[in-house]
Amino acid sequence: MENRKAMVIGTGQMGAGIAQVLASASYNVVLYDLDTQALQKGISKIETSLKKAVQKEKIKECEMNETLARIQDTTSLSNGDDADIVIEAIVENLEVKKEVFKKLDQIVKKEAILASNTSALSITELGSVTKRPEKVIGMHFMNPVPVMKLVEVIRGLSTSEETYKEIKSITESLGKVPVLVKDFPGFVSNRILMPMINEAIYALYEGIASKEAIDEVMKLGMNHPMGPLQLADFIGLDTCLFIMEVLHEGFGDDKYRPCPLLKQYVKGGYLGHKVKRGFYEYE
Ligand code: 3HC
């Protein structure tokens, strides 16, 4: 994959992680965000993560420097106009994503694939605002991106077999495992994970057990690395609520109704680990 160019849109937890794994796998990466402050934050997340890998002797210092040198940060989308693949990882808002896809379609070379890291939104709908719906696909990475093996690959109604094969091969080149799913709300990962998290929140809301007890049951009883409430904090409670709303609206089934306690936490700004308070408090 030497000399291949990728553009990553968004420098949040996911965008930074995606840029890191692409650069580590020898892609030249253009990392885009709206302002330089966001870009600096994104780059420093990548630096911190790579430095930890050096300390643990997983990579050499020179490899870290080479990886960082492959990442070019920019606030101009046109710096990625010759990218072979674009991966969008911005806020989970369909209208905002559609605007970005429209712009990308005009700017990026016509052979390029436009992928979205959306956790639940319709790939078909994103593809429909472009003139290349056959080249639009979902590439759903898991958090933390450098650690988690899965990439859920979502084929929209118009995504071509050629695009899917290309994304499968790119995913494998990153040392990840692609799993193909169809384009329905929440795909497979969040259709299963989020109702479980929502049910854990209901158990807390109904006073069935303490938060610690609920997490212990799932950690010790089911061998989950994190309890569901801890995981919700890690993912972000606003993201969890958003995904439940997409499932609820998309399927029109009340089994996906978000727990009132989840709504209350989000309204109160208890968004989880990123703001240092959610179900738990963080230093
Ligand atoms: N970046 C890079 N590496 C990281 C990392 C990060 N952010 N966080 C942890 N690691 C690495 C550590 O360096 C360590 O590596 P080592 O074993 O080689 O030393 C390894 O991961 C284990 O980390 P720790 O020992 O610090 O801690 P844990 O054993 O508790 O593991 C965890 C941390 C990997 C986050 C683990 O708790 C876990 O797997 N949690 C569940 C994660 C999960 O479910 N993710 C999916 C969320 S859903 C999603 O992303 C979809 C979205 O749409 C909502």
Tell me the C-alpha distance between 29 and 53, whole Å: 20
Sign of CA dihedral 45, 51, 55, 58: positive
Q: Which residues contact 103 (CB under 8 A, 6 or more apart)?
A: 77
Residues with CB under 6 A from ligand 1: 49, 52, 56, 119, 142-144, 146-148, 189-190, 193, 225-226, 231, 235, 239
Q: Is 24 a catalytic residue?
A: no
CATH topology for 190-274?
Answer: N-(1-d-carboxylethyl)-l-norvaline Dehydrogenase; domain 2 (1.10.1040)
Is residue 2 predicted with pLDDT exceeding 80? no
pTM of the entire structure? 0.95
Query: What's residue 23's pLDDT?
Result: 98
Per CATH, which fold does 5-182 belong to?
A: Rossmann fold (3.40.50)
How do beta strands 71-74 and 28-32 pair?
A: parallel
* Confidence label for 1 from pLDDT (cuts 50, 70 and 90): low
pLDDT digits (tens, 9 = 90+) for 50-101: 999 999 999 999 999 999 999 999 999 999 999 999 999 999 999 999 999 9
Give DSSP secondary structure letters for 115-167: EE--SSS-HHHHHHTSS-GGGEEEEEE-SSTTT--EEEEEE-TT--HHHHHHH
Q: Compute the distance between CA of residue 251 and CA of residue 233 in angstroms, rounded to an integer.
A: 25
- The CATH 3.40.50.720 portion of the chain extends over 5-182
Residue intervals in the chain for CATH 1.10.1040.10: 190-274
